[in-house]
Amino acid sequence: MIKLSGEVIDALKASVRGRVIAPADADYDEARKVWNATIDRRPALIVRCAGVADVKAALAFARGNGMLVSIRGGSHNIAGSAVSDDAVMIDLSALRSVRIDPQARRAYVEPGALLSDFDHEAQAFGLATPLGINSTTGIAGLTLGGGFGWISRKFGVTVDNLVAAEIVTADGEWRRVDEHADPELFWALRGGGGNFGVVTLFEFRLHEVGPEIYGGLVVYPLEQAADVLPKYREFVAQSPDELSVWAVMRLAPPLPFLPAEAHGKPVIVLASCYVGPVENGERVLAPARGFATPYGEHLGPMPFAAWQKAFDPLLTPGSRNYWKSHNFAGLTDATFDILTNAVKSLPSTQCEIFVGAMGGETNRVPVDATAYANRDSIYTINIHGRWEDAADDARCTAWARDMFAALTPHALGSVYVNFLTGDEGDRVKAAYGPNYEKLARVKQRYDPENVFRSNQNIVPAA
């Protein structure tokens, strides 16, 4: 591990307004924790930035001392890219401001903000932009990887709604980028991950959503999969853009609307969010209630901000996680068989499979319009291995890998970069497809020394 002298650390402390946390500090171990408990890395220093000046100082310090840089936003990334051994962690978690301009329908968001911070401010005006499905997710990492959520079928992926960004690049320069200023860099930021600098502000376009929507859950026994899943496929294909229905396959949690005998049983949960007129929601979702005989349902009008938190209890920080993911142009009967069999052999009670229905506006944007390239993906399946005990690492990881391998012949071959684990660097080109070579050229222009490589790395073009 790199050891820095007290004088060197003191000089850095004197140059920042925020806080410098060293391995000897009492809260160092807490400060280096990230959402995924399988990640256990020890940075040389953590600079908890209070503003852009601190970002510039931390970056200059790391470069001046020949040290690796990592960037922490919400620290929710499955690969744990926020923290690296012997690195200077540029910690943006204290920068959580969200400012809404309801007249211009713009949101100005700092890089430490979480989805819950955004929703709290934007929903005060009945406004939203497409962002994730878990309120503890960080805005920055989600956005830089492309981003999608419950309202993406209507309004596109997150980066389709990114209007501008402020960024400190590897040379220490601050830039405001948009489609007119540094358009090439702005293009790369919209899906290219943290490869191009430290984003210190995001500007988003907002849309009228909520504050009340119609949605909720319908829970079917896994034994009814042969009826439910084909009907789900047909229903999604005919659904309006205002409706998103995801299928979650797992053991039933002890939800109050489910009978006690269903708790812990394998189930198919249809999770629905309808952002059309609330009074139409019951009619629009009526077919989803009759695919078979459900264990129970909880559907109705609810605050959009509350729906954004619906899956928080299943995705709390501090558990061990390993994911594998594929994109699909459609779901075949063979795919359904693989999913069903995998749920019959879950290696822990927390493992689950998310079938995210995309389509709609996400598919109407040209593949080269942004760095995010997955414009032909109709479904994203995320195999979510999750457990508590390190002794179960091999078993739970093997389950996810085996299922991934079984699904591979049926998938597109592409992947959502935010769902890549730390051992999948060989899939980065698959994440960007035809956009990778342009991204490598942009990387060469703005980060030729690959300073920002604690990520799913895009290597600078030769």
How far is residue 166's CA from residue 46's CA, in Å, rounded to a whole number? 22
How far is residue 225's CA from residue 267's CA, in Å, rounded to a whole number? 9
pLDDT digits (tens, 9 = 90+) for 151-164: 999 999 999 999 99
Instruction: Give yes or no for a contact between 335 and 353, defined as CB atoms under 8 angstroms apart.
Output: no
pLDDT digits (tens, 9 = 90+) for 272-282: 999 999 999 99
Arithmetic mean of pLDDT over the chain: 97
**What is the model's pLDDT at position 4?**
83
For residues 385-403, give the mean pLDDT.
97
Measuring CA to CA, how many Å separate 106 from each of 10, 121, 205, 335? 40, 12, 5, 41
- Is pLDDT above 90 for 189? yes
- 301-337 in b/e form (b: 16+ CB < 10 A) is ebebbbbbbbbeeebeeebbbbbbbbbbeebeeebbe
- Band (pLDDT 50/70/90 cuts) for residue 2 is confident
Q: Which pTM does this prediction carry?
A: 0.96
pLDDT digits (tens, 9 = 90+) for 19-45: 999 999 999 999 999 999 999 999 999
Estimate to the nearest angstrom the gap between the alpha carbon of 271 and the chain centroid.
18
Instruction: Give yes or no for a contact between 453 and 190, defined as CB atoms under 8 angstroms apart.
Output: no
pLDDT digits (tens, 9 = 90+) for 286-344: 999 999 999 999 999 999 999 999 999 989 999 999 999 999 999 999 999 999 999 99
- 134-168 in b/e form (b: 16+ CB < 10 A) is bbbbbbbbbbbbbbbbbbbbbbbbbbbbbbbbbbb
Identify the CA nearest to 147 among candidates 429, 419, 346.
419
Identify the CA nearest to 149 among candidates 135, 163, 166.
135
Provide the total of helices (H) and of strands (E) in the chain, helices listed first. 14, 18
- Count of all residues that appear for the chain in the document: 462
pLDDT digits (tens, 9 = 90+) for 169-178: 999 999 999 9
- Is pLDDT above 80 for 71? yes
**What is the model's pLDDT at position 180?**
97
Give the domains, in start order, of the chain with CATH numbers. Answer: 6-91 (3.30.43.10), 212-419 (3.40.462.20)
- Is pLDDT above 80 for 1? no
